Amino acid sequence: MVKGVARPQLSLKGRALRLLSQREHSRAELERKLARHLQEGEDLAAVLDDLQAKGFICEARVLASVLHLRAPRLGGARLRQELAAKGLDAARVREALAELAPTEPDRAQALWERRFGAAPTDAREWARQARFLAARGFAAEIVRRVVPPAPR
């Protein structure tokens, strides 16, 4: 880009399309991101309604995308938090996480093996490995099942 040459100001719709071209966004995310660019006479709700009617904004795609990208590395609690932050429908989130729940021990095991691969040598190492999984939203019961006990 040439220095000193200003880019033309994008409209709200242009900004929304640019954001949507990078990844799926929920309506609530777009509202938050575009609100600061709102100028007098512009109607953010109308722009978002139009994009939603044309299929550019789809909560089901956002949900599927987040679960596809994040579920292998995160537990149910952390996924629930991230999906809530995106403003997705709580009932849909509950339903999707319920479908994903049976795989949680396997996902935690795979993540633990990828990160550590060896049983902890002492209580301090066990705590470190357990914190690693807990910070990623895995339940305490699953953490206890996945991380082998440290020798006494």
pLDDT at 126: 97
Q: Is residue 26 a part of any domain in this protein?
A: yes
Q: What is the CATH number of the domain that holds 136?
A: 1.10.10
Coil, helix or strand at residue 123: helix
Structure tokens at 103: 């795989």
pLDDT band for position 1 (cuts 50, 70, 90): low
**Per-residue pLDDT for 151 more than 90?**
no
> How crowded is residue 147: how many other Cβ atoms within 10 Å of its Cβ?
24
Q: Is residue 37 a part of any domain in this protein?
A: yes
Q: Is residue 121 a part of any domain in this protein?
A: yes
pLDDT in tens, 47-106: 999 999 999 999 999 999 999 999 999 999 999 999 999 999 999 999 999 999 999 999
DSSP letters along 57-97, please?
Answer: --HHHHHHHHHHHHGGG--HHHHHHHHHHTT--HHHHHHHH
Q: Is residue 73 a part of any domain in this protein?
A: no
Domain assignment of residue 141, given as a range: 104-146
Structure tokens at 136: 């990623």
Q: Report the distance separating Cα 151 and Cα 129, nearest Å.
A: 14
* Nearest alpha carbon to residue 16 among 1, 27, 4, 3: 27
pLDDT in tens, 107-137: 999 999 999 999 999 999 999 999 999 999 9
Q: Is residue 124 a part of any domain in this protein?
A: yes
- Give the number of domains in the chain: 2
Q: Report the distance separating Cα 116 and Cα 112, nearest Å.
A: 6
Burial grade of 141 (CB within 10 A; 0-12, 13-18, 19 or more): exposed
Q: Is residue 2 a part of any domain in this protein?
A: no
Q: Is residue 95 a part of any domain in this protein?
A: no
Q: Is residue 38 a part of any domain in this protein?
A: yes
